[in-house]
A and B are shown apart, each in its own frame.
Chain A
Amino acid sequence: MLQRDYTTSQLDVLEAEAIHIMREVAAEFERPCLLFSGGKDSIVMLRLAEKAFWPAAIPFPLMHVDTGHNFKEVIEFRDRRSVELGARLIVASVQDSIDQGRVVEETGRRASRNRLQTTTLLDAIEEHEFDAVFGGARRDEEKARAKERVFSFRDDFGQWDPKNQRPELWSLYNARIRKGEHIRVFPLSNWTELDVWDYIRREGIEIPSIYFAHTRKVFERDGMLLPDSEVVQRGDDEPLFEAVVRYRTVGDMTCTGAVQSPAATVEEIIEEIAATRITERGATRADDRSSEAAMEDRKREGYF
């Protein structure tokens, strides 16, 4: 990393920035937590948290909003990684929210618990009195996210007001809130999908197996490959077939599509992404396709 002209690689700069953001949160907030889904972005975030506070332990708990529709490989990974780090893992369950009548389960073939997560998340933030919540969102993911701050203010309803955001200058983050409000913090704001993969390669970070090519029974819907699962409703006109696939993003089984790919190593994934012409959300996320402003609407309500 060190050269005579003191240049730093893009990953070093992004890493230093993310570590600075995490320490700022630990210093300025009473009760932060880190959203950890077992997906690649949150795995990278966790590594950055390890680095930010080493040799001390990560000074905040991890939280996962579990829809009950997650891939089992990812849930196993989530639990194992939390134990390895000695971190406290809070699981906020969408099923509990349904059982308590806080939300009503969608019905029909396209039923998804994706949107229900918002209520579960906001309830958990309130219950645990979290005042800062780390998320792994990146600005390159989606155009509403391109305008979001690193410290993104949420009112006491958990809502985001995109037209009334606090200006963010230099690396000075405004952490002032009232009780009941919170800040969503995005340390990976300036990372791209490729940066995340380059970092996973450089650091030798382990990720769940479903990111790599494997054989899976899938069916096609709207140009996406959805998995054969008891939680995904499949019509008679949607035949199953076997394919060699991998996941570019990891979300709910009901709305996360696989891509046909032979990429079995991180190096092969990086090659594939460098050549791809479709965004990761466009290729694999049904939740973003519902309308032009789908993400903005969900974010206003308090989505990740």
Chain B
Amino acid sequence: MDILRFATAGSVDDGKSTLIGRLLYDSKAIFEDQLEAVERTSRDRGTEYTDLSLLTDGLRAEREQGITIDVAYRYFATPRRKFIIADTPGHIQYTRNMVTGASTADLAIILIDARKGVLEQSRRHAFLTSLLRVPHLVLAVNKMDLVDYSQERFEEIREEFTAFASKLNVSDLTFIPISALNGDNVVSRSQNTPWYLGTSLLHHLENVHIASDRNLTDVRFPVQYVIRPQRANDHAFHDYRGYAGQVAGGVLKPGDEVVHLPSGLTTRIASIDTFDGPVEEAFPPMSVTLRFEDDIDISRGDMIARPNNQPHVAQELEAMVCWMADGIKLTPRSKLSIKHTTRTARALVRDLHYRLDVNTLHRDEEATSLGLNEIGRVSLRITQPLFVDDYARNRQTGGFILVDEATNGTVGAGMVLDAS
């Protein structure tokens, strides 16, 4: 059994909560006491149906205002897979939350109301999904029961969305006609859509191939922590020096020749250690400890790669940045703390090239700042070299966060472009 992380986008009106509620309920991830609590609250408020959004709206303010404020994580499992849902709100702070939820997602589900078709909001969600390079996208055309399960309507929506998606970086796009309320094509295929030859949504989630979404080509090992045992009576490990980290790309094996950055020195992997014994291979997302044949001065923030396949060593970066702070703006000359893999440095915004309208994809080159939930292309100068790849090639070595040095808040998320 492996794990599929997926993000859901859409508003309550699109039936998103109903869909999540149904997936959780049908996979027995909702428990009786949770359902009872929701039924009780629905009754107290005079709602006639059981409001499944109450299951996901965990904070008092959310329940009081009937809105979702923050990304909520939900869990369910079938015999085939464990699922982690990043449930992102449709209305409030959509960009910031959707970017957060999408950053770790293998797949995104965008819900569309079959009666309303592709809305501005759907295009926005699709754009953010592609910006964050979520490898798989599902367009769930919901409320098919309200359009008499019309194949014609479904095809219309499919054509319109496909045309829009061709402008984006979407590699795997699947359309599924569903009714979350009635359960059509959610868990099993529906009799009501005999013209639909694809699989149910859950079947798709269980079977979509994600193993090759990881980058197994470019060896990248950001050094996270140096392990030097200092137990006085432990002679076996007296001279032990291991470099711990989580593999961000490629497959490492003992004996492989590797290069250390920033020094550029080469050595070979002597051993790949874990608590459970040495292993013959390490690949994403394993957390392991490497030992090398030669004594090289290596510390946190350094990178291990292959001599003939190295990341870019960059102090000047081009990136798309999503700004997430209320109050503070990103402007040229902004100075921020930047965290990229295990390395933290300072960044200066040299230039803001344009601000992107996430609804129309129009580039506003006159823009002088980025505010909350705005996305733009920037040039950064970094105080020390970072070892980066294009975000499109590797999300781990292409993504970074920006932190405000005064408030310590996480104010921006960045994706490296044109690393060269």
Q: List residues of A whose CB falls within 8 A of some B CB.
A: 2, 5-10, 12-17, 19-20, 23-24, 26-27, 50-57, 86, 139-140, 142-147, 162-163, 165-172, 174, 176-178, 189-190, 192, 194-195, 276-279, 282-283, 292-293, 296
Give which listed residue, A20, A140, A178, contacts B408 with CB less than 8 A. Answer: A178
With both chains docked as a complex, state the minimum distance between the C-beta of B213 and any C-beta of chain A, in angstroms: 11
Supplied contacts A54-B274, A283-B33, 19 more A-B pairs, CB within 8 Å: A6-B211, A10-B3, A16-B286, A20-B246, A23-B225, A24-B342, A52-B244, A139-B75, A146-B73, A147-B59, A167-B413, A169-B410, A170-B103, A172-B340, A277-B31, A278-B31, A279-B33, A292-B41, A292-B60
Asked if residues A27 and B225 are in contact (CB atoms below 8 Å), the reply is yes
Complex Cα gap A146–B60 (Å) = 13
With both chains docked as a complex, state the minimum distance between the C-beta of B177 and any C-beta of chain A, in angstroms: 30
Asked if residues A9 and B1 are in contact (CB atoms below 8 Å), the reply is yes
With both chains docked as a complex, state the minimum distance between the C-beta of A284 and any C-beta of chain B, in angstroms: 11
Give which listed residue, A27, A56, A86, contacts B342 with CB less than 8 A. Answer: A27
Q: How many residues of B contact A (CB 8 A)?
A: 83
Asked if residues A166 and B410 are in contact (CB atoms below 8 Å), the reply is yes
- Chain B residues 207-254 with CB under 8 Å of chain A are 211-212, 214, 216, 224-225, 227-231, 234, 236-237, 240, 242, 244-246, 251
With both chains docked as a complex, state the minimum distance between the C-beta of A252 and any C-beta of chain B, in angstroms: 20
Whether B99 sits at the interface, judged by CB under 8 Å, is yes
Of all chain B residues, the one with the shortest Cβ separation from A153 is B408
With both chains docked as a complex, state the minimum distance between the C-beta of B305 and any C-beta of chain A, in angstroms: 19
Asked if residues B287 and A16 are in contact (CB atoms below 8 Å), the reply is yes
Of all chain B residues, the one with the shortest Cβ separation from A151 is B410
Asked if residues A10 and B287 are in contact (CB atoms below 8 Å), the reply is no
Complex Cα gap A52–B275 (Å) = 8
Contacts of A2 in B (CB 8 A): 279-281
DSSP majority for the B interface?
A: mixed
Complex Cα gap A105–B161 (Å) = 62
Whether B96 sits at the interface, judged by CB under 8 Å, is yes
Contacts of A168 in B (CB 8 A): 100, 410
Contacts of A144 in B (CB 8 A): 58-59
Asked if residues B59 and A189 are in contact (CB atoms below 8 Å), the reply is no
Known interface pairs A147-B72, A163-B69, A167-B96; A279-B34 also in contact (CB < 8 Å): yes
Asked if residues A10 and B59 are in contact (CB atoms below 8 Å), the reply is no
Give which listed residue, B75, B99, B286, contacts A169 with CB less than 8 A. Answer: B99
Complex Cα gap A75–B231 (Å) = 27
Known interface pairs A55-B240, A171-B396; A165-B70 also in contact (CB < 8 Å): yes
With both chains docked as a complex, state the minimum distance between the C-beta of B61 and any C-beta of chain A, in angstroms: 6
Known interface pairs A6-B216, A296-B58; A172-B400 also in contact (CB < 8 Å): yes
Asked if residues B3 and A13 are in contact (CB atoms below 8 Å), the reply is yes
DSSP majority for the A interface?
A: loop
Complex Cα gap A19–B70 (Å) = 26
With both chains docked as a complex, state the minimum distance between the C-beta of A225 and any C-beta of chain B, in angstroms: 16
Of all chain A residues, the one with the shortest Cβ separation from B413 is A169
Complex Cα gap A276–B32 (Å) = 9
Asked if residues B37 and A292 are in contact (CB atoms below 8 Å), the reply is yes
Of all chain B residues, the one with the shortest Cβ separation from A173 is B339
Complex Cα gap A5–B103 (Å) = 24
Complex Cα gap A9–B231 (Å) = 33
Complex Cα gap A276–B34 (Å) = 13
Contacts of B240 in A (CB 8 A): 55-56
Asked if residues A279 and B31 are in contact (CB atoms below 8 Å), the reply is yes
Write 27 A-B pairs (CB below 8 A) sorted by A numbering: A6-B216, A10-B3, A16-B285, A17-B285, A23-B225, A50-B275, A54-B274, A55-B240, A56-B227, A56-B229, A143-B55, A143-B58, A143-B72, A145-B58, A146-B72, A147-B58, A162-B59, A162-B61, A165-B70, A169-B103, A169-B399, A170-B401, A176-B403, A192-B82, A276-B31, A277-B32, A279-B31
Complex Cα gap A278–B34 (Å) = 8
Known interface pairs A57-B229, A169-B413, A174-B339; A7-B211 also in contact (CB < 8 Å): yes
